[in-house]
Amino acid sequence: MAELTTLARPYAKALFETAQAADTLSAWSAVLTLLTAVVREPAVQSLLDSPALTARQQADTIIDICGDALDDKARNLVGLLATNRRLPLIPQIGEQFEALKALREQTVDVELVSAREISTEQQQALSEVLSRKLDRQVNINLSVDQSLLGGVLIRAGDTIIDGSVRGRLNKLAEALHS
């Protein structure tokens, strides 16, 4: 996995710098999301693994699938990646592009998992606290997992805050066994 990330980095960085200079970060974000969805389709994955197709044929197939959603620059990106046999890297390129975009915009996506529904007021309060703590604007993605028993689990990038009852019980069990 680290190798794919390393291979994707120069493409993501170059694409980000180009998009930033042209003020088209959101448009490229949408293009990369679409291309990632296409490349992750099992039929397309088998196409990319097929030695029977040339790089140009692979690129043309992906461009045909996307249709008018790709402008000339996006088609050129697909062609470049196909020529270099890097089409399978599109998901990693997209992830790194989004990370660079979030860093520039001073935002962070936070996954908030709770044992029960959280009110709008509670979400707002958590968002404000996390914004101050992380020194970024927070975009909360809320989900409910009743197996937590109570409390919340917060994931923001590499930071994990486990305030769930299940997490506390697991820590207690570890302490008792050691």
Residue pLDDT, tens place only, 62-79: 999 999 999 999 999 999
Q: Residue 59: pLDDT band by 50, 70, 90 thresholds?
A: very high
State the burial class of residue 66 (Cβ atoms within 10 Å of its Cβ: 0-12, 13-18, 19+).
middle
Least confident of 17-26, 86-95, 97-106: 97-106
Which residue is it, tokens 């604007």?
A: 137
3-state secondary structure of 60: helix
pLDDT (mean) for 6-28? 93
Residue pLDDT, tens place only, 112-161: 888 888 888 988 888 888 888 878 888 888 888 888 778 888 888 777 88
User: How far is residue 166's CA from residue 175's CA, in Å, rounded to a whole number?
Assistant: 14
38 with 31: CB under 8 angstroms?
A: no
The rounded mean pLDDT for the chain is 88
Residue pLDDT, tens place only, 6-16: 999 999 999 99
The pLDDT, as a whole number, for residue 62 is 94
Cα distances from 113 to residues 35, 56, 104, 108, 172, in angstroms, run: 28, 44, 26, 16, 21
Return the CA Rg of the chain: 21
The pLDDT, as a whole number, for residue 162 is 81
Q: Residue 168: pLDDT band by 50, 70, 90 thresholds?
A: confident
Q: In what order do the strands lie in the sheet with 159-162?
A: 137-144, 107-114, 152-156, 159-162
The pLDDT, as a whole number, for residue 30 is 95
The pLDDT, as a whole number, for residue 154 is 85
149 with 164: CB under 8 angstroms?
A: yes
pLDDT (mean) for 44-54? 89
The pLDDT, as a whole number, for residue 2 is 59
155 forms beta bridges with: 111, 160
User: For residue 100, is pLDDT > 60?
Assistant: yes
Q: Which CATH class is domain 2-102?
A: mainly alpha
| Segments in the chain forming alpha helices (H) | 2-21, 25-40, 42-49, 55-66, 72-83, 90-105, 120-134, 165-177
User: For residue 39, is pLDDT > 80?
Assistant: yes
Q: How many CB atoms lie within 10 A of CB 110?
A: 22
pTM of the model: 0.67
